[in-house]
Structure 1
């Protein structure tokens, strides 16, 4: 199994979501032989979209060298069997680092085609797990703000063909140690029920 781990948390390895993702990767490695590719969008930022790149996207005869970054990111997905994303919720939606990754990965005629019914993904489906960390609550009985992250990211991934996306929510992370412990325990229990993990041991505590 080849695993692609995309990290968008500015806290990096100290992020609760990052640590949970590492537990998931370790658990998968115990069940089957696996190799890991990590794409850290914070420690190694992607270059901004340029005017030349924007023109090349819609050009009939583009300078293909302008697609080097896009092609590399797309190949990382193409070569993987499982995608794991760790992201915080920033101002109701994805952080800028992850949005830039999406902008490079969603490319017309490469990862999706345009039809009268809308975008149709050109990539094969594979399990995609998204860990979403937030200080407050945006889902469930304690929700007090809107969530634009999960519907947006689900739609974006579906647009390139990734239909099997599961979101693991780490909510209330600024509410104290007990809230963090509760959020992680709930997440581990949820992950253990996912088909990728259900046949093996649950994610460690």
Structure 2
């Protein structure tokens, strides 16, 4: 099993990093020979889309001529990392109700018309990547889901739509909430509860794969 492990927190020690590391550890227990590729977007952020990349994406003729390899180099590298992975594990904070900009910069390189996104003759978009499990560990200072939710959630709907657009539909979200208010022991207990959902999530993903 090849795991692509992505962290987005700017802090070297954070709840989202702890959660994503625990997910990777859990997956590695069931597959001791698993290999892990790291993308630490919090410590080593990707550049936001630059002029040449944006120009290429808005110029289908340029793409067809194949003269845009330099502009698409980073995008191609990141897409190939996703393609080579059997599982994606993402640890991210919720920033102002949605994903941090470093994760958005990564997504902007992954979502690419003609490479990861196809379009039907009727204009409907469909994903070109093979589906695979995507585990997203979310750390939020407030509460955004469940009966005690007190703030909007644009993170889960956005990631569901963005990943689904490229064909990644087997998403499992693990929200660790109220990190600004709960103590260490309570947060650790909540994290354990989230991790306990992983076996059932893996079985559901496997069953879905058999139906494809």
TM-score, normalized by length of structure 2? Answer: 0.87
2:62 corresponds to 1:56: no
Identify the residue that residue 143 of structure 2 maps to in structure 1: 137
Q: How many residues align?
A: 196
8 Å CA contact 2:87, 2:134 repeated in 1:
yes
What are the ranges of 5 or more consecutive residues in structure 1 without an aligned counterpart?
198-205
What SS class does the counterpart of residue 85 from structure 1 fall into? strand
2:172 corresponds to 1:166: yes
Alignment of 1:56-135 (within 5 A): 56-59=56-59, 60-61=61-62, 62-115=67-120, 116=122, 118-135=124-141
Q: Per the alignment, do residues 128 and 150 of structure 1 end up closer, same or farther by CA in structure 2, a change over 3 Å counting?
A: same
Identify the residue that residue 186 of structure 1 maps to in structure 2: 193
**1:100-155 CA distance string (max 9 Å, x none):** 10100000000001233532000000011001110010000110111010011011
Identify the residue that residue 6 of structure 1 maps to in structure 2: 6
8 Å CA contact 1:168, 1:191 repeated in 2:
no
Shift of 1:23: 2.1
Alpha-carbon distance between aligned partners in 1 of 2:199 and 2:181, rounded to the nearest angstrom: 25
**1:35-83 CA distance string (max 9 Å, x none):** 0001011211111211211111132124221111101110100000000
8 Å CA contact 2:7, 2:20 repeated in 1:
no
Identify the residue that residue 207 of structure 2 maps to in structure 1: none
8 Å CA contact 2:20, 2:136 repeated in 1:
no
What SS class does the counterpart of residue 96 from structure 2 fall into? coil
What are the ranges of 5 or more consecutive residues in structure 2 without an aligned counterpart?
205-212
**RMSD across aligned C-alpha pairs, in angstroms?**
1.7
Alpha-carbon distance between aligned partners in 1 of 2:26 and 2:42, rounded to the nearest angstrom: 25
Alpha-carbon distance between aligned partners in 2 of 1:47 and 1:196, rounded to the nearest angstrom: 37
Shift of 1:183: 2.5
8 Å CA contact 2:119, 2:125 repeated in 1:
yes
Identify the residue that residue 21 of structure 1 maps to in structure 2: 20
TM-score, normalized by length of structure 1? Answer: 0.90
Q: Per the alignment, do residues 123 and 50 of structure 1 end up closer, same or farther by CA in structure 2, a change over 3 Å counting?
A: same
Alpha-carbon distance between aligned partners in 1 of 2:153 and 2:70, rounded to the nearest angstrom: 37
Moved over 6 A (4+): none
